[in-house]
Structure 1
């Protein structure tokens, strides 16, 4: 992991990111991998990971890609999420990638997989650049 990403991951531990339990696993050019060890508080009343946990993971992973550049500030403008399978234990992984960038927006995609590489959910997101 590159030094700036290590520092960013460390800073994130005191935010919602750390409260949920996300961990930064890998960093590539315009892509990252985030993990989450599923705990009982991540589950809904049906005993499966709550959809909000999936959405938070997807949004946080996509947002983290642009956070390295201190001159760039973004907010989520839109996020389209598809839930495919559920899971109730183990570790899940989210890979996010930069898809397109203009002067005002950044578009990214992210996918969540379980430990057996089964696709659980995926999303696309548009992030508005703040001036």
Structure 2
């Protein structure tokens, strides 16, 4: 995970054999994990507070077998107790591999 100067965060993954499913393409759980991580990280970066995932929806758009993937996120809705965040995973050619939306409970103190 890296933080940009503008306050954004990205998650980068270099695909390895251990990330593949039995068909030789990136396992769907890897997509879901990347998205859950980037969505939560973007929210934490913006609010300065921890959160927990309430729901996660993943749309698988294109198969991938090798290379580097980059995930980024945008906050769609931010309330006092919850937020909705959208993310995308791109390959090095700029192809969207997966998109996801998550709803998060913001864990405020007290």
Q: TM-score per shorter chain, which class? A: 0.7 to 0.9
Bigger fraction of residues in helix? 1
The question of 1:24 aligning with 2:2 is answered: yes
Unaligned runs of 5+ in 2: none
* Partner in structure 1 of residue 82 of structure 2: 105
**Structure 2 matches for 1:44-83, cutoff 5 A?**
44-68=21-45, 69-70=47-48, 72-83=49-60
By relative contact order (CA 8 Å, sep 6+), the higher-ranking structure is 2
1:36-69 superposed Cα distances (whole Å, 9 cap, x missing partner): 0001101111111100000000000011123345
Do the aligned residues in 2 keep the contact of 1:27 with 1:33 (CA within 8 Å)?
Answer: no
Secondary structure at the aligned position of 1:115 is classed as: coil
Do the aligned residues in 2 keep the contact of 1:32 with 1:61 (CA within 8 Å)?
Answer: yes
Using the TM superposition, give the Cα deviation of residue 25 of structure 1 relative to its aligned residue in structure 2, in angstroms: 6.0
Distance in 2, matches of 1:83 and 1:36, equals 17
Using the TM superposition, give the Cα deviation of residue 28 of structure 1 relative to its aligned residue in structure 2, in angstroms: 3.1
| TM-score normalised by L of structure 2 | 0.88
Aligned match for 2:65, one of 84, 88, 98: 88
Distance in 2, matches of 1:35 and 1:105, equals 26
Unaligned runs of 5+ in 1: 1-22
Count of residue pairs the alignment pairs up: 107
Using the TM superposition, give the Cα deviation of residue 103 of structure 1 relative to its aligned residue in structure 2, in angstroms: 0.9
Residue 74 to residue 25, structure 1, CA distance change in 2 (3 Å): closer
Do the aligned residues in 1 keep the contact of 2:56 with 2:101 (CA within 8 Å)?
Answer: yes
Q: CA RMSD in A?
A: 1.6
